[in-house]
Amino acid sequence: EVQLLESEGGLVQPGGSLRLSCAASGFTFSSYAMSWVRQAPGKGLEWVSGVSGGGGTTYYADSVRGRFTISRDNSKNTLYLQMNRLRVEDTAIYYCAKDSLSGRTAEVDYWGQGTLVTVSS
């Protein structure tokens, strides 16, 4: 059974940093691309960032490029999202998501339970 377990989010001041992690199990982690998708309170889904199965290729939404860094440790079956220079508008539930492809995000098939990140002073 595929399981994706995000680390706890939290409250961060504007301009601050936070690192999210996602522990994966139930599948061969290194064989699949992974993504982070977020959902602001009461709003729709927004894809944030993706990484290929091998970790060599990363992708970012324009809204976070230059501030967020996605990475993965295939030896630990863990996905990360380092978030720097956080803004109020980054407040959202962040979901870890598995893709059905290896090279890029194209078909998300499983989602974690999500973790709330609140950016506020």
Partner 1 sequence: DVVMTQSPLSLPVTLGQPASISCRSSQSLVHIDGKTYLSWFQQRPGQSPRRLIYKVSNRDSGVPDRFSGSGSGTDFTLQISRVEAEDVGVYYCMQGTHWQVTFGQGTKLEIK
Q: Which residues of this chain interact with partner 1, rule CB under 8 A?
A: 35, 44-47, 50, 59, 61-62, 95, 100, 104-114
To the nearest whole angstrom, how small is the minimum distance from the Cβ of residue 81 to partner 1? Answer: 16
Report the residue number, 41 or 121, with the smaller CB distance to partner 1: 41
To the nearest whole angstrom, how small is the minimum distance from the Cβ of residue 64 to partner 1? Answer: 11
Report the residue number, 16 or 58, with the smaller CB distance to partner 1: 58
Report the residue number, 67 or 104, with the smaller CB distance to partner 1: 104
CA distances to 6, 13, 30, 51 from 3, in Å: 10, 30, 15, 18
Contacts of 91 (CB under 8 A, 6+ apart): 40, 41, 117, 118, 119, 120
To the nearest whole angstrom, how small is the minimum distance from the Cβ of residue 117 to partner 1? Answer: 16
Report the residue number, 78 or 115, with the smaller CB distance to partner 1: 115
> What are 34's strand-pairing partners?
51, 98
To the nearest whole angstrom, how small is the minimum distance from the Cβ of residue 101 to partner 1? Answer: 8
Asked if residues 96 and 105 have their Cβ atoms less than 8 Å apart, the reply is no
Exposure on the CB side of residue 103, measured as CA atoms within 13 A: 0
> What are 58's strand-pairing partners?
51
